[in-house]
Structures are given as structure tokens and as C-alpha cells.
Structure 1
Amino acid sequence: MRILHTADWHLGKMFYGEYLTEEQAHVLTQQLLPLIKEERIEALIIAGDIYDRSLPPVGAVALFDEILTKIAVEAHVPCFIISGNHDSATRLSFGNALMEKEGIFIGGELATLHSPIVLEDRYGAVSFYLLPFAEPAVVRQYYSEETVKDHETALRCLRSAQKIVQDTRSVCVAHAFVTGGVPCDSERPLAIGGSECVDVSCFDGFSYTALGHLHGPQKAGGRDNVRYAGSLLKYSFGEAKQKKGVSIVEIDAKGHVAWEQIPLVPQHDVRIIQGRFADIMTRPEANKEDFLLVRLEDEEPILDGLAKLRKKYPHVLALETPNRMIQGAPERKFDVRHTNERELFLNFTMAMRDGRTLSEHEKEWTETLWRRLWQEGGDGLL
């Protein structure tokens, strides 16, 4: 069976104040949907965090509706979806019974879970088990299981509640932080103090486990058959070097897994460029439309640097000046309460210029300015 494993779509995500819905629509409609047909996919998995927040914007809901409709009506491929920690399990589960008739299976609210969902291929049955994200307190209350104290015991409780079919090939879909995984700065922590981690042994016995939550594509717990597909797009500059995409998983007659990562190409890449301001402004650049973080190496301040950069790179979203931040300001050797305005100004300029005082020309200019301010009614300025 050929399975397309995706996760962490985060529809409705905002990136530096702008919705990424158009970016997400591009990779979903122009790349993911055609891939289903081109690669002869027999099942699609979305392993949680379909939306970026529990109450998503209208555009995000409309996009998800469009994609699900095309999967069910045009591609005719069974789709397995679970809720992640960003989703509302209740909202995601709306219309669950109706969707199942079209081959869309959603694991959200605990009351609606039923496993396994069994598909058939030329070798026989493949069982799919849906283990959505759920807070330990919710699992403990629903199953009246007092041993549930953290995310691992909650996940094991969810698994034990499933009707496991023995001696069949099986796929588990879960949203969790497996111990040893490499996180990104755009992920929302599941818990505090390490209680979010689950051991990879939670997924013993499954032919393949399709994970969501971590945005970097990677195997979990050192196992090739327990994997994160990664997020749909780069959702922070910390992910700039990651290769985003989806996973194609093939399970043979004996349950052995072959795995391949297929890249998705966004309309605008997320990159970090670094150098001195003058060099960045003059050097040739092939991808000026990308979303950029510019890290300036200049020690001197660049007046209106962000606006100037945007004349060449329209999508500069952030500007960093690490060299200036490292040097810091000199220690103040004056008492503000016994210092006049001129002395405060001189000390301020020295702090902003790493201890260098005004030039003679600058002193003459500021002296003229002080006198003008005093003549206009600035009592106490001299």
C-alpha cells in the first residue's frame, strides 16, 4: 500500500503579520493534489495541526474544505485526519459521520473514536489506528483512568482503548513529541518540564507510525518506521535550512516499510541573508521575492535600514544587527538628577555610538540647535 503522510499544515498561520493562506493553497492545490495521482497514492494521512489555532480564520476553513472535497470527490482516496494540539477536536470532528461515507476519517473527540479502519490492497488488510492529541486530564476523565498523569500515559491509554487487530499490517497516526526529537521554534510546547515527551515504545507493533507535531522531517527514536513528515511550509526563520515536503510510505506484503521524502516548493522561500549593508544592497540576488530575515554585520547604525532593504527585497520581514547588540553601551558615569539637557544629550550620543563623542562640526550644529530651542521658549535648556 502506498501512503502519503503529511502533517502540520497550520492553515490560517500568520507570519510576521501576514496570513500564509495563499502560500498554503499553492502547495496544496498545485503540488500535493497532483502528487496523489502521479504517485498512485492509496491513502492520505494528515497527522494533526490542520489549523494553526482552535478558531481558525474563514479563509483557512474554506481552503481545507476545498482540499478535502477534491480528495474525496476527484482523487477518491481515503483520508485519515487527527487533531493536533493547535486544533479544536470538537470543531474538527464536525460532520464526522457524513464524511466517513466519502472516505474521510477524522480522529478528534474521544467519544467519536473507533479503530481500526481497515483498507484492502492486493496483499490483504491494512488497519489504521487514529490517536489524536488529547490533554492527559481529558483522557484521565473520559476513561476514568487515574494512572494517566502525563502525555505518555495518556497516549498509552488511548492505544489500549483501541481494538487492536492481530497479525495484520497496521498504521498508527499520532500527534506527539517522541523523546529525542529535534524541535523548532515555531512549535507550541505540549507541556512544561518534560511531561510532554513520550517514548517511542508507545508505537511498538505497528508497521508504520505517521507522526505530527515536530516541523522538521525526521525519524523518531531511531526507528525508520516511526517518522515525522514535517510541516507543510517553513513557519519560522529557525526552519530556514529545513527541506519541507511530504512522505511517501510503501508497505509491502510482510509489513516492511520503504520511505521517501518528496519536497514541496513554496511560492516564497524563507531565508536568512547575512553581510554588511552595502554588500547586500549591491550584490546580485536571484530570489528577491523570498521572505527574508536580514542579519547585518555592520557595527555602525544604518539609518532607515529596513525601508532601504525593502526597495530591493520587498519581503524583508525582520532585521537583526548582532554586532551592535554584542558590544553594548558604555557605563554611565553621571547622575541624571544633577545633569542638564545638554549633558544628557551628549551622553546619549556617546552610548549610541559606542563611546565616541561628537565631532567639532557636530558640536557646532548641536550648539546652534540648543540656542534656537532656548530662544523659542525652552526655559531651563541652558
Structure 2
Amino acid sequence: MRILHTADWHLGKMFYGDYLTDEQEYVLKEQFLPLLKDEGIEAVVLSGDVYDRSLPPAAAVELFDEIATKVTAELHIPFLVISGNHDSASRLSFGSALLARQGLYIAGDLDKLTGPVILRDDAGPVAFVLLPYAEPADVRHFLSDETIHDHQKALEALCAFQSRGCDDMRAVCVSHVFASGGVSSDSERPLSIGGTDMIDSAVFDRFQYTALGHLHGPQQVGRPEVRYAGSLLKYSFSEATQKKGAVLVDLADNGQVSSRFISFTPRHDVRILKGSFHDIMEREDDRTGDYVLARIDDTEPVLDGMARLRKKYPNAMALEAPRRRISDHAGDRDFNIRGTTEEELFSSFAGAMRPEQPLSEKETDCLHQLWDALRKEEGGGIL
């Protein structure tokens, strides 16, 4: 059976104040859907975080509805989805019993879990064990097991519940967890405080393949058959060097697994530009529409830097100057601002901005003329 493992779509995600729905739609329609046909995919798994928040915007819901319809109703491929920690389990799994008849299997609300989903290929049945993200307290209540107090115990108990009846089958697990040894990034919401959310990947040893979600960087944990597909797009600048895509999994008749990562190419990439501000502005770049963070090595302030940067990179999101020097007097606040003249305030500002180049005599004379003209215009004072 050929399976496509994807995860962490985060539909409705905002990046520095802008919705990424159009960017997500581009990848899903122009690359994800064609991939299903080109590679002969027989089942698709989405390992949680369908949406970026529990109450997603309407456009995000419409996009998921459109993609899910194309996968199941048009391509006739079973689509297995679990809720992640960003999703509302109850909202996502609404109508799940009805949708399952159309090939869309959604596991979210614990009360609606019904055990493994059994699909078939020429060699026989394949059990898909769907483990939606759930807090330990919710699993404890659902299973009436007072011994469940942490994520590890909750996952083990939920896995045993969902795996019942498939001991003699090839089995694929779909889960949304933070497996110990995984590498995180800035855009992932912590599952708990203090590392108590981490689980031992040994819980997945009985499965031929485990399709994980939550960590946004594609990676394997423990063994090659336990993998994170990573997120659909880059959702923070800490992910700028990561590849994004999906994992193509071939499950052989004898249970052997081979897999390979297939990259997606976004319409607008997320990049960090490095160098001096002048070099960044002067160098040739044929991808000026990307989302960029300029991390400049200038030691002197760059006046109006963001506005100038956005003339070349309209989607510039941030400008960082970690090596910028601060004047010895920049932090000095030991003066009475109400008793300080306009000229003195400006001279202090100029000294902070140009600590190595004091105002020249010509500049000072020009400023005196400007202040005199402003005072006359304002009737004696400008502050």
C-alpha cells in the first residue's frame, strides 16, 4: 500500500499579521493534489493541526473542505485525519460517522473513537490506528483509568484502546505528540510546561510505520519507520532552512517499509538575509517577493531601514541588527527634559545616532536657523 504522510497544515495561520491561506492553497492545489495522482497514492494521513486555532477563519474551513472533497470524492482516496493540539477536537470531528462512509476518517473527540480504520490492498488488511491529541485528564476520564496522569501513560492507554482487534494485521499509527529526541522550532505551541509532554517513541514499536505530527521539521525519531512529515509551509524564521513537503511511504506485503521525503516549493519562501544593509540592498535577487528577515551586521544605525528594505522586498517582515553599537550616552536619562532646550534634545539624539561623528559647525549653524524659524512659526515654542 502506498501512503502519503502529511501533517501540520495550520490552515488559517497568520504570519506577522498576514493570513497565509493563499500560500497554503497554492501548495495544496498545485503540488499536493497532483502528487496524489502522479504517485498512485492509496491512502493519505494528516497527523494533526489541520487548523492553526480551535476556531479557524471561514476561508481556512472552506479550503480544507475543498481539499478533503477532492481527495475522497474525486480521487477516491481514503483520507485519515486526526486532531492536533491547535485544533478543536469536537469541531473537527463533527459528522465524522457520516463522513467515514465517503472515505474521510476523522479522529478528534475521544467519545467518537471506534477503534482502528481497516483498509485493504492486494495483500490483505492494513489497520490505521488514529490517536488524536488529548490531554491526560481527558484520556483518564474517557477510559475511566485513574492511573493516567501524564502524556506517556495517556498515549499508551489510548493506543491500546484504538489498537484492539488488529494484532495480526500490518498496522500504521497516526499520532500528534512530542517524541523524545525530536527537534522543535519557534512556531510550535508547547504541549505542556517543563518537558512533561515528551513521550518515549518505544510505544510505537509494534507498528510498521508511525506518522507523527506536531514538530515542524521533517525528521525521524528512534528508527526510520517513526517519522515527522513536518509542516506544510515554513511558519517561523526558525524554520527558514527546513525543507517542507510530505513523506511517501510504501508498505510492502510482508510489512517492510520504505519511505522518501518529497519537497513542496512555496509560492513565497521564508528566508533570512545576512550581510550589511548596503550589500543586501545592492545584491541581485530574483526572489524579492519572499517573506524575509534581514539580519544585518551593521554596527551603526540604519535610518528608515524597514521602509527602504520594503522597497526591494515588499514582504519584508523584520529587520535585526544584533551587532549595532549603542552610544555610551544613549542610556543616560539623568536630565530634566522639561528644562532642556530643543537644540539640546536634538544634539543628544544626534550624539546617540552618530557617536563617532559629532555635528559639524555648518550643521549646527543650519540647525540654529531651523529652530529660529520654527519658533517664529509656532509663536515662541515647538515642544
Please give the TM-score of this superposition, normalised by the length of structure 1.
Answer: 0.94
Aligned in 2, Cα 1:71/1:379: closer, same or farther, shift over 3 Å?
A: closer
- Aligned identity (percent) is 55
Deviation at 1:320, TM superposition (A): 1.6
User: How far does residue 356 in structure 1 lie from its aligned partner after superposition?
Assistant: 4.6
Structure 1 match to 2:187: 186
Q: CA separation of 1:379/1:253 partners in 2, compared to 1, >3 Å: closer, same or farther?
A: closer
User: What residue identity is the alignment partner of 2:327?
Assistant: A
Conserved 8 A contact 1:128-1:173: yes
The count of corresponding residues between Structure 1 and Structure 2 is: 378
- How far apart are 1:76 and its partner, in Å? 0.5
What is the match of residue 336 of structure 1?
335
Secondary structure of 1:161's counterpart equals helix
Contact 1:2–1:249 at 8 Å: present in 2 too?
yes
How far residue 285 of structure 1 moved from its aligned partner, in angstroms, is 1.0
SS at match of 1:102: coil
Contact 1:336 1:344 in 2 (8 A): no
Give the Å deviation of 1:313: 2.0
Counterpart of 1:42? 42
Q: C-alpha separation between the residues in 1 aligned to 2:169 and 2:46? A: 22
> Whole-Å Cα distance in 2 between the matches of residues 368 and 259 of structure 1?
74
Q: 1:66 to 1:364 in 2, by over 3 A?
A: same
Q: 1:360 is matched with which residue?
A: 361
In the TM superposition, what whole-angstrom CA distance separates every residue of 1:37-67 from its partner, at most 9, and x where no partner exists?
Answer: 1111111000000001100001000000000
2:167 maps to a residue whose letter is Q
> Where does residue 141 of structure 1 map in the other structure?
141
Superposition deviation, residue 379 in structure 1 = 6.1
The gaps in structure 2 that reach 5 residues or longer are none
Counterpart position of 1:313: 313
Report deviation, 1:346.
2.7
Aligned partner of residue 322 in structure 1, secondary structure: coil
Q: Are 1:330 and 1:355, in contact at CA under 8 Å, matched by a contact in 2?
A: no
Q: Distance in 2 between matches of 1:282 and 1:380?
A: 39
Whichever residue aligns with residue 128 of structure 1, its letter is F
Change (3 A) 1:229 1:9: same
Deviation per CA, 1:88-117: give whole Å up to 9, x if none: 001101111110001111110000111211
Distance in 2 (CA, whole Å) between partners of 1:173 and 1:206 is 10
Question: Which residue number corresponds to residue 71 of structure 1?
Answer: 71
User: Secondary structure at the residue paired with 2:212?
Assistant: strand
Residue 128 of structure 2 is matched in structure 1 by 128
2:202 counterpart residue number: 201
Distance (whole Å) between structure 2 residues aligned to residue 149 and residue 139 of structure 1: 9
How far is 1:372 from its partner? Answer: 4.0
SS of equivalent to 1:158: helix
Q: Unpaired runs of 5+ in structure 1?
A: none
Matching residue's letter, 1:123 = A
On the 8 A contact 1:7/1:46 being kept in 2, the answer is: yes
Query: Per-residue deviation at 1:237?
Result: 1.2
1:335 maps to amino acid? D
Partner of residue 172, structure 1 = 173
**Contact residue 329 and residue 355 of structure 1 kept, 8 A:** no
Q: Which piece of structure 1 moves more, 335-344 or 285-294?
A: 335-344
Cα distance, 1:334–1:322 mapped onto 2, change above 3 Å: closer
Aligned to 2:287: 287
Match of 1:115 in 2: 115
